[in-house]
Chain A
Amino acid sequence: MEKNDKGLTRRESLKVFGAGAGFLAMGFPIKLNAQEPIRLGTLCPLTGAGGPYGPQMQEAISRVVKEMNDSGGIHGRQIQLFHEDSQTNPEAAVRATHKLIEINKVIAIMGTWASAVTLAIAPICYNNKVFDISVSGADAISDLQDDDYIFRTQPNTFVQSGVYGQFALEKGWKKIAYIAIQTPYAKTFGDTFKKKVEAAGAKVVEYLIYEANKPSYRSELTKVLGSNPEHIVIMGYSPDSIVIFKELFKMGYKGGVVGPGFAINQKVVDNVGAEVAEGIYILDPGTDPQSPAYKNLVRLLGTTDINSYAAQTYDHINLIALSLAEGKVYFGTGIRDHLRTISNPPGIEVGSFQEGMKFLKEGKKINYQGASGACDFDGKGDILSRPFIFSQVKSGKMVTIGWIKG
């Protein structure tokens, strides 16, 4: 081993050089090691109350990432996904979050569904500067002191109930019953809705909040029907709505029904049968089946039976990826700081990562329009009010009818 003039062997100088490079790599992960994968976490409800929705939510993200990685990743860096099950249980979700953040070292978490879950993991995320984006609806999420790390694609209750009120009034509904399960937004929604429609001369004749997961709702519904409502607004989850719709039908109810996508989906329609489901309205934040993003999602999942939360998680991953691509700061902070740049207007409207990347490489400003809506965020990380789409069940299929401005 020859020594060079400065007194280091080749082996030693290699070691020094290697150590130095390694040291630099640790200190500057953004620039130096282009092969370092981007670590992202999903925390969807694979089991528990959100179980019907979680698997597809996770699948949407997985398929988008696979395609992203196959086409070169984000500026050459592959995305590594870590999946955990929130079990729709805040405590389990907290433990899973610790694992995702501290063992898997993810820079972002997507897909939390239950508001209690999102609220429980929020402090861990923002204290660790990890970006979190959810589909949760509780108003409390807007008010979190979260240093802008917590975003969501689900409109908050005031927006939703306002739109429902508008829908009811536009349809000329006069005698309305409100049925909901006990959730963080059940009462706020009901109260806002009631105020809006009653100010215009309609009447909420029954206001029922019921206990979830009971085997039958015969008497609760008897009570509701006792006031002869002509229309029903239902805010429950699909297991209960299946039971409720069957009961309403048997009890001879012939009036209108409207509810969100999580209460009424294709599975519900299939379970209760075309006759029972005929005419039921679904009113959801604008999942426009004609939008490029939605069509892309249909292609990826290979089906048109997509729940509204999976449309949102498709947007979650795209938003995060485009934000990282635009800002090139591969941390939660980077996602946070660049998210509105790629999602809010102005900009060229894009509906997929590939499309967005194309324009970003040309140095242009983009405006991501998602499968779940325009995806424009306000200062608190909430979705700005936007159009809602309503569909109706006809002969066992859900058919889009029109739009309502949010």
Chain B
Amino acid sequence: MINYFIAILTFVMIYAILSLGLNVQWGFTGLVNLGHVGFFAVGAYTSAILAKLGFPFIFTLAAAVLLAALFGSLLALTTLRLKEDFLAIVTLGFSEILRLFLLNETWLTGGANGIIAIPRPIWQYIAKHYDLFYLLILSVVLVLLFLFLERLRLSPYGRMLRAIRDDELVAAVAGKNVFRSKVQAFSLGAALAGLAGVFYAHYLSYIAPDMFIPLVTINVWVALIAGGSGNNKGAILGAFVLLSFLESTRFLKDFIPILSGFRLAAVREILVGLFLILLMIYRQEGVLPEEKIQHG
């Protein structure tokens, strides 16, 4: 029984990191990224491919995060000047084209087969309680990230990002290099998604292009908005809410028999859609609103 919760919590941690990354882009800086799953994929695949070639975990982790950040910068440099609703479409396009690349370039990525038997770091020493160990490591990483991002939020840099989010023109007039900051924030968010990808790949020991579809991005968005955008705690809370929702609907069919198979899936998606709409209409800030910074 407890192993189930360990497993679900592990997913929560991974989605929490994804959510924190999206928060840097959207919550802090107001950048729309509908292609978040693309950076998740870059991180996962980079680490997986390198690990299978024999490189140690620390190396593959670093390479994956750097590559995700690089992709983030490139995408940001080329597209951040677009209006936000178009930026949404373009970032979505990025993640879809990346997925096609992962699917078709079998020589590099294993194609539709995916990559199997991805080595789990230091498995040989802790095989018995590995899942618990992995969860603990992830929790530590998450806590460190949270602390780092909180400091970032409260720092002058964080204030600047918020200023850009709220009114670009004013920020520019105040002498800030708006564009460069946006690119940096976007890349940081992408790097975090890449980090989440690394832990994802090594946890499951298997990745395939099918796991990196736009639905994942939408789920992260739902998590972030539900928890409260701008708010790091909310990002983590949102991940809990998301996984709880996804898992609890599983048990619905035991109580409402006609809801089986595709009907259950349809109802689940309808609930997600309704949730998005209602959240947008009534509480755009989400469950945990952004905390106002006390000055002086």
A→B interface (CB under 8 Å): 46-47, 51, 54-55, 58, 83-85, 87-92, 94-96, 98-99, 101-103, 114-116, 119-120, 122-123, 138, 140, 144-145, 182-184, 186-187, 211
In contact, B208 and A119 (Cβ under 8 angstroms): yes
Write the nearest CB–CB distance from B206 to chain A, whole angstroms. Answer: 5
In contact, A90 and B8 (Cβ under 8 angstroms): no
In contact, A98 and B7 (Cβ under 8 angstroms): yes
CA distance A85 to B252 in the complex (A): 13
In contact, A120 and B11 (Cβ under 8 angstroms): no
9 residue pairs of the A-B complex, CB under 8 angstroms, read A47-B262, A84-B250, A91-B211, A99-B4, A99-B247, A114-B210, A119-B114, A123-B205, A184-B114
Partner of A54, one of B3, B112, B261: B261
In contact, A115 and B113 (Cβ under 8 angstroms): yes
Interface of A, secondary structure class, is: helix
In contact, B265 and A95 (Cβ under 8 angstroms): no
In contact, B104 and A182 (Cβ under 8 angstroms): yes
Q: Which residue on chain A has the smallest CB distance to residue B261?
A: A46
Chain A residues with CB below 8 A from B113, complex form: 115-116, 119, 138, 140, 184
Write the nearest CB–CB distance from A236 to chain B, whole angstroms. Answer: 13
Given A103-B4, A116-B210; A55-B114 close (CB under 8 Å): no
CA distance A138 to B206 in the complex (A): 14
In contact, A119 and B112 (Cβ under 8 angstroms): no
Write the nearest CB–CB distance from B262 to chain A, whole angstroms. Answer: 5
B→A interface (CB under 8 Å): 1-4, 7-8, 11, 100, 103-104, 106, 111-114, 116-117, 204-206, 208, 210-211, 246-247, 250, 260-262, 264-265
In contact, B262 and A55 (Cβ under 8 angstroms): yes
Chain B residues with CB below 8 A from A116, complex form: 112-114, 206, 208, 210-211
In contact, A119 and B116 (Cβ under 8 angstroms): yes
Chain A residues with CB below 8 A from B210, complex form: 88-90, 114, 116
In contact, B8 and A123 (Cβ under 8 angstroms): no
Write the nearest CB–CB distance from A370 to chain B, whole angstroms. Answer: 24
Q: Which 8 A-B pairs rank lowest in CB-CB distance, beginning with the nearest?
A: A46-B261, A102-B4, A184-B113, A47-B265, A116-B208, A98-B7, A102-B3, A184-B112
Q: Which residue on chain A has the smallest CB distance to residue B200?
A: A91
In contact, B7 and A95 (Cβ under 8 angstroms): yes
In contact, A182 and B208 (Cβ under 8 angstroms): no
CA distance A115 to B209 in the complex (A): 12
Write the nearest CB–CB distance from B15 to chain A, whole angstroms. Answer: 10
Chain A residues with CB below 8 A from B114, complex form: 90, 116, 119, 184
In contact, A102 and B211 (Cβ under 8 angstroms): no
CA distance A123 to B123 in the complex (A): 13
Chain A residues with CB below 8 A from B261, complex form: 46-47, 51, 54-55, 58, 85
The residue in A46, A88, A119 that gathers the most chain B C-beta atoms within 10 A of its C-beta is A119
Chain B residues with CB below 8 A from A115, complex form: 112-113
In contact, A187 and B106 (Cβ under 8 angstroms): yes
Chain A residues with CB below 8 A from B204, complex form: 90-91, 94, 120, 123
CA distance A351 to B113 in the complex (A): 34
CA distance A98 to B205 in the complex (A): 15
Chain A residues with CB below 8 A from B205, complex form: 123
Q: Which residue on chain B has the smallest CB distance to residue A103?
A: B4
In contact, A102 and B103 (Cβ under 8 angstroms): no
CA distance A120 to B205 in the complex (A): 8
Chain A residues with CB below 8 A from B116, complex form: 119, 140, 144
CA distance A87 to B211 in the complex (A): 11
In contact, B100 and A211 (Cβ under 8 angstroms): yes
Chain B residues with CB below 8 A from A96, complex form: 250
Partner of A102, one of B7, B104, B117, B247: B7
CA distance A140 to B1 in the complex (A): 31
CA distance A94 to B6 in the complex (A): 13
The residue in B2, B4, B260 that gathers the most chain A C-beta atoms within 10 A of its C-beta is B4
Q: Which residue on chain A has the smallest CB distance to residue B264?
A: A85
Chain A residues with CB below 8 A from B260, complex form: 46, 83
CA distance A46 to B263 in the complex (A): 9
Q: Which residue on chain B has the smallest CB distance to residue A114?
A: B210
Write the nearest CB–CB distance from A179 to chain B, whole angstroms. Answer: 16
Q: Which residue on chain B has the smallest CB distance to residue A128?
A: B3
Chain B residues with CB below 8 A from A98, complex form: 3-4, 7-8
Partner of A90, one of B4, B208, B262: B208
CA distance A34 to B208 in the complex (A): 43
Q: Which residue on chain B has the smallest CB distance to residue A49?
A: B210
Partner of B247, one of A46, A89, A95: A95
Chain A residues with CB below 8 A from B262, complex form: 46-47, 51, 55
CA distance A187 to B106 in the complex (A): 10
In contact, A120 and B3 (Cβ under 8 angstroms): no
